[in-house]
Structure formats: structure tokens, C-alpha cells
Structure 1
Amino acid sequence: MKSIADVISNLNNKRMGSTSEICYEHKVQANGKEYVKEIKKITFDGEVFCPLCERERTTQELSDEEDLKIKRAMGRRNYNVFHNQSILTDIDLLEASFTSYKATEPEEIANKKKASDVYAKYREGEIFNAWFTGLPGVGKSHLAMSILRNLNEKGEQDKSCLFVSVDEMLLRIRDSFGNKESRYTEHYFVDLLTSVDFLVLDDLGAETGATGTKKQATDFTLRVLYAIANGRQSKSTIVTTNLSKNDLMSMYDSRLVSRLMKNQVRISFENTVDKRLGDMEL
């Protein structure tokens, strides 16, 4: 980088002069009318130019450079939301991808294709909700994470992504009730989950109990989930659940289910078996 003295010395070594040429590009307002402001061009080191045009050009370049810096900073911040603020109960999901999802049966192959199509439509700017339903271990969370990771890695820099285990989120909120040092308050999560562009709500229903217990969500759970759903009406949300629509209607307020299922694409696993059991040696 040149010193100020070097720059001044360099300028002094270049010749500056006046010309008879006029620039007519600039206008001024006076008495309610617009007039052309004639600017006399100058020469500098053999080049002829309008000093006002040059100043405007330099100002615009600096402005564009600052805009680029801001966009890059925002891009880094959005990219880091996924890595720094997602809440997972299965750390292996961080490695989930479309490539690592092994589809051998017709339903698995079809659902993998549907998930890939969801990702493509999100990239194109479409806004809708995607639901992955089926028994545990069939790959719902894996495919949901695959969509989210691709959006975070390959999507627009001004878009933020977040993956949240519903059960773990609610546990942290409850813990904050008696822990004033905790940042994981109800307000924190509602604000975070409604602000991101793409959100995965993982394992909806697990926070209420085992499937088939006929338990109903507490007022606390309904309040949090409804606030999130209400704040995401103009954004895309991906939901994974082991529950059927009838189970969801029994467990939650119908308004909540209706809000989350609005404008949805459903990817349902009905015949796929628990992939995790296949890896166990008995």
C-alpha cells in the first residue's frame, strides 16, 4: 500500500490543465425548473475528463465496494446460523446428504426424488411447506437435512437455514423458566425460528409422548408452536413427524395443524422399514 506522501508526489509529477470542452451531463434545480449545469473539463496526465463525472464515478465505486462487503458479511452470518444455532439430538445428521441416503426400494427412490424436487423448487423461489411422515428410522430427518444443507451450501447468500428438534427446543425453554442465565427463552426461540428463511421442525409430536398414547399437547407447547407457525406464514417450513394427520389433529389444536399444513407437499413413507434396525447385529 502506498503512503500518502507517495500519492501526493505521484500527483505532483502529473500535469493538470484546463480545456475548452464542456460537460453537459449535470443538471441543477432552480426556481422550480431544471437547468443544465455546464462543467468545464480538465486534463490530467494527458487524459480529458469532467471532474464532477469522475467524482460521481469514484463515489459509486466506493458505494458498490461497501455494498459488496455488507453482502459478504450478511452471507457469512446467514451461513453460520445453520451451523451455530441449529439444535439436533442426532449429531450424525450433520453429515446427511442426498448422496448418502441409500434408496433401494421403490418408495425410497420415489421419496428421495420428491425431496430433491422440493430443494429445486425452493431454489427457484417457491414458498411452500414440506411434510415428511412415516415410522421412525425411515429417513425423514435425513432427507429434510439434505434439503437444508444444500440450501445452506448452494443457495442464495441472503437466505438463512435452521434445523431444530422440537422436543429439545421445548426442553430448553422449560429449563429457562428457572434459569435466568439461560438464553434459550421462549422469546429467543420464537424470534429465531420465525426470522430464518428455511426451517426444519424435526420430529413434531415426540415432545408429547410415544405414538399411540393419545396424549394431548400442553397449552405451553401449543403456545410456542402456534407463535412459530403464525410467524412463518410467508416462509417455507419443513416438518418431520411419526404421526398421521388424525393423530396430529387429536394431539394439537386444529388451527395449528391447519397453519402448518397450509400449502404443503407431503412425502409419506408407508412401506419403508426402519433403516437403523438393519444396521444392528442380533
Structure 2
Amino acid sequence: MIDEEKNKDGMLWYQLKRAVPTGLFCKNHPDTELNRFTHPASTNYDPLIHGELTSDGLQLSSMAFCKKCDLEGVYQRKQQSSAERRANEDFLNKSKYGKYSLLKTQSLVGKKSLWFARFNTFKVNGLEEQNVLNQAQRIAREYTQGQRFNTVFVGGAGRGKSHLAMAILQEVNENLKDDKFSTLFINISELI
């Protein structure tokens, strides 16, 4: 088993073992030397395309990397297209309802009638159902106030678990749309 112990810079030991210093330093972090990494040569190795080989027959990466930039996610952001980045930022940051619509567009709902589930449509036939409804409304209120916890509904078929779960999601989704939060309903049998 490989020991994945990290050093103080957060790099794994096998990454350090593969690192080859270049003698060049990062523009963003002038105190950090850039490294190239070795890896096994590709089967169709061509020095003009794949770069140079080391003395032990390993191929050197064509690009030099700064370990601090890597930890900051600089390389990942460069790989993502600027148009995609802008579209995501606009959707999530500038649109008041960017995430609000995720409940309707991304949820996996088995019975379509669940879309109409609200607290005021839950049928109360006695004290037990009234207590369960009150508890579900309290849960929705606490989620809306920013509390973080899990909720598990347990009971027999037809008792209203899915109805109340959707009612909680609808309530929270509606109350947090200005804060750019959303909820999601996933029916496990639909998911599978």
C-alpha cells in the first residue's frame, strides 16, 4: 500500500520524487522554484511532440509547475474556458433566481403530484398528523434560519413522508431564493 503522507507544502511524497527543478521561479510566488514532473514515456513517444527524456528513460512534462499555484487552483481555472467560467458566475452570482430553479429542473420526483405538495395541502386527520405537520413546519423554519442538520422520515406507506419532505423543500427553496440557495428532491427508486 502506498503511503500518501504529505510534506509541509501539501505535496505527496511520490509527487516530490517525480519533481525535477527547472532553475526558474514563479511570477506569482518569486520564492518558489518551478518544477517539471517525470512520468513513464508514452508508447508512441516522439521527442518533437512529447518533450525530452531523462537519463533514466522517463518523460518530462512539457510545462513547468509552481506548487503554490497548484494548491491555489490556478491551473484548474486556466483549463476551464473563460466563456464557461463567465456563464457559471453569471448564473450563480448575478441571477437572483440562479439556483432557485434547480428544484424544478434537477429533482427526480416519482409521482408528479408531489409538485403540488405544500403544508396547506397536507391532510390532517387527527392529533398525530397535526403534530407531524407542526414538526415539519418547524424543520423548514430552522433550515431557512441557516441551521444545518439531517432530517429522516420514518413510517409506513401512504403516511405523507414524501409530501412533507417536498413541502419542506418548497418552503425552504422559496424563502432562500434571494440568498441564492436551492433545494433538491431525489426519489431513490428514480435515481437507481
Q: TM-score, normalised by structure 1?
A: 0.35
Equivalence for 1:81:
102
Higher relative CO (Cα under 8 Å, sequence separation at least 6) belongs to: 1
Among candidates 142, 163, 171, match of residue 121 of structure 1: 142
Say if 1:123 and 1:136 are closer, same or farther in 2 by CA, change over 3 A.
same
Among candidates 129, 154, 161, match of residue 140 of structure 1: 161
In the TM superposition, residue 134 of structure 1 has moved relative to its aligned partner by: 0.3
Which structure carries more strand by proportion? Answer: 1
Which one has a bigger Cα radius of gyration?
Answer: 1
In the TM superposition, residue 72 of structure 1 has moved relative to its aligned partner by: 4.1
Among candidates 102, 125, 128, match of residue 107 of structure 1: 128
Equivalence for 1:188:
none
Equivalence for 2:33:
none
Query: Aligned partners of 1:70 and 1:164: how far apart in 2?
Result: 21
Residue deviations 1:26-64 (CA, integer Å, cap 9, x gap): xxxxxxxxxxxxxxxxxxxxxxxxxxxxxxxxxxxxxxx
Amino acid at match of 2:181: K
Aligned length: 103
Query: Aligned partners of 2:163 and 2:91: how far apart in 1?
Result: 35
Equivalence for 2:115:
94
| Secondary structure in structure 2 of the residue aligned to 1:77 | coil
In the TM superposition, residue 155 of structure 1 has moved relative to its aligned partner by: 1.8
Matched, 1:159 2:181: yes
Query: Aligned partners of 1:133 and 1:151: how far apart in 2?
Result: 21
* Structural RMSD (CA): 2.0
Residues 10-29 of structure 1: matches in 2 within 5 Å? none
Query: Aligned partners of 1:68 and 1:81: how far apart in 2?
Result: 15
Runs of 4+, deviation exceeding 2 Å: 67-72
Residues 174-253 of structure 1: matches in 2 within 5 Å? none
Structure 1 gaps, min length 5 = 1-66, 171-282
Residue deviations 1:3-48 (CA, integer Å, cap 9, x gap): xxxxxxxxxxxxxxxxxxxxxxxxxxxxxxxxxxxxxxxxxxxxxx
Equivalence for 1:57:
none
Residues 265-280 of structure 1: matches in 2 within 5 Å? none
Query: Aligned partners of 2:138 and 2:97: how far apart in 1?
Result: 26
Q: Percent identity?
A: 31
Amino acid at match of 1:98: F
Amino acid at match of 2:183: C
Say if 1:88 and 1:109 are closer, same or farther in 2 by CA, change over 3 A.
same
In the TM superposition, residue 69 of structure 1 has moved relative to its aligned partner by: 9.2
Query: Aligned partners of 1:161 and 1:151: how far apart in 2?
Result: 7
Among candidates 151, 168, 172, match of residue 190 of structure 2: 168
Residue deviations 1:63-114 (CA, integer Å, cap 9, x gap): xxxx9997441x3220111111101110000000000001121110000000
Query: Aligned partners of 2:99 and 2:182: how far apart in 1?
Result: 5
In the TM superposition, residue 160 of structure 1 has moved relative to its aligned partner by: 1.6
Amino acid at match of 1:149: Q
Equivalence for 1:190:
none
Say if 1:68 and 1:128 are closer, same or farther in 2 by CA, change over 3 A.
same
